[in-house]
Amino acid sequence: MQKATFAAGCFWGVEATFRQIPGVISTRVGYIGGKTENPTYKEVCTDGTGHAEAVEVEFDPSKVAYNELLQVFWENHDPTQVNRQGPDWGTQYRTAIFFHSPEQQAQAEASKQALEQSHRYAKPIATQIVPAVTFYPAEDYHQQYLEKRGLASCHIK
């Protein structure tokens, strides 16, 4: 099993999207990339901890390739938005790929470059590609939030 970590706005919809992919073993939402240890949702929402809302994906690389996960990431948010997605704004909603290995870094950078060269977007891609650091799981009520409420998505494409 391998891990992949993505930030693409509100983590509820991002998690729901990744949970549907065959080969994804588990997901959990949480906070990564900030300066506060064990932040709470309330603290992250102040825009003062530096964390991004993110989804940690555990996947079986024999069933789904990391490049396929990258494709889902790119297709399910607007990677040109700086510190926002749809109506949500703040650094916690930034677009970022947190890589867990040099291979993931290389694949993420290549996929970003390919997207930029495709000219699909008029604006530059704002997605950060940075090393994965400590991932702090969000509170239990955030885990599989949409699924628990019988909702399919809140995700904005």
Say which of 4, 7, 8, 10 is annotated catalytic: 10
* 10 noted as active-site residue: yes
SS3 103: helix
User: Interior CA angle at 92 toward 82 and 154, to 5°?
Assistant: 90
Q: Count of CB atoms within 10 A of residue 101's CB?
A: 14
Q: Residue 114 — left, alpha, or beta (φ > 0 → left; ψ -120 to 50 → alpha)? A: alpha
Give the pairing type, strands 84-85 and 88-89. antiparallel
Of 28, 36, 33, 40, the residue nearest 3 (C-alpha): 28
State the distance between the two ends of the chain, measured CA to CA, in whole angstroms: 28
**Tokens 């996960």 — which residue?**
69
Residues catalogued as catalytic = 10
